[in-house]
Each structure stands twice: as structure tokens, then as C-alpha cells.
Amino acid sequence: MNFRIATAIAAVMLAGAAHAQDADEGEEVFGKRCRACHSIVDDAGEVIVKGGRTGPNLYGIIGRQAGSVEDFRYRDDIVAAGEKGLTWDEETFEAYVQDPTAFLKEYLDDGGARSGMTFKLREGASDVYAYLASLSD
């Protein structure tokens, strides 16, 4: 793992120590900032959060390989990251949502890597993680 990713993960972990995760707060942040692009629909088809279709359904995303939601057309770089072993856990999720393209450039060691997610969630990432984790196995 290169230095920048390690530094980003360390920063996220330290920030998490100063701010306890709050799934209820994460649900609120998701509703205000994430649902413009993402829905949450469970495996039975029940809509938990009706949102946009620009991004993939985020139900069960925590613990899943990146770029692997069926029937969603991902950009090549996020699929490559998943094939390289990127799985959404607390550290990777929080680092990614804070600056998706920078994260992929570092993770793939490819200055040309790009994310389909252009939004940067600078605040509330740990809470959104807690919320999404509550909707995952």
C-alpha cells in the first residue's frame, strides 16, 4: 500500500476516533447528499431510499467487492480496483468518498485513473458508512 493511501486511511481512523459513528446521522447525510445519485433497494426489491440512478444501488455495499453491483455500468477503473482486491470496508469506503478519483489513482497506481463519482463527501463519511453498514450483512 503506498504512502498516500496509508496516510488517508490513518486520517480517517483518527477522525473516526474523534467522532463516533452515528447511523442515524448517516441516514440524514445520505438523504441530503447521496440520494441524488444513489438508491438503496434491498434484495427483495423493497425501496429503502428512492434516489437517482447515476450511481449504483448501495444496499449491501459494505463488505462487497468494488465495482460489482449487477446491472450497473461502472467505469473501467473502479472495476479494475475491485479486481485488484478493493473491498468496501470502513477505511476504504471513507477514503474513497472523500476524494474518489484521488483514491483510485493511488489505489491503482495510475495517474490517469478516474472515478465515475465526481462528488466528494468531505464531512459525514463515517456516519454514512455506519448507515450503509446497518444495511449490509
For residue 99, give Cα distances in angstroms to 19, 49, 62, 115. Answer: 20, 24, 18, 9
Residue spans of the domains in the chain: they are 3-133
The CATH code that applies to domain 3-133 is 1.10.760.10
Q: How confident is the model at residue 112 (pLDDT cuts 50, 70, 90)?
A: very high
Instruction: Please tell me the pTM assigned to this model.
Output: 0.84
Q: What would the grid cell of residue 123 be?
A: 464531512
Mean pLDDT of the chain: 91
Integer Rg of the chain from CA: 14
Task: Dump pLDDT digits (tens) for 75-87.
Answer: 999 999 999 999 9
Task: Dump pLDDT digits (tens) for 10-49.
Answer: 555 554 444 578 999 999 999 999 999 999 999 999 999 9
Q: What pLDDT is stored for residue 16 in this prediction?
A: 45
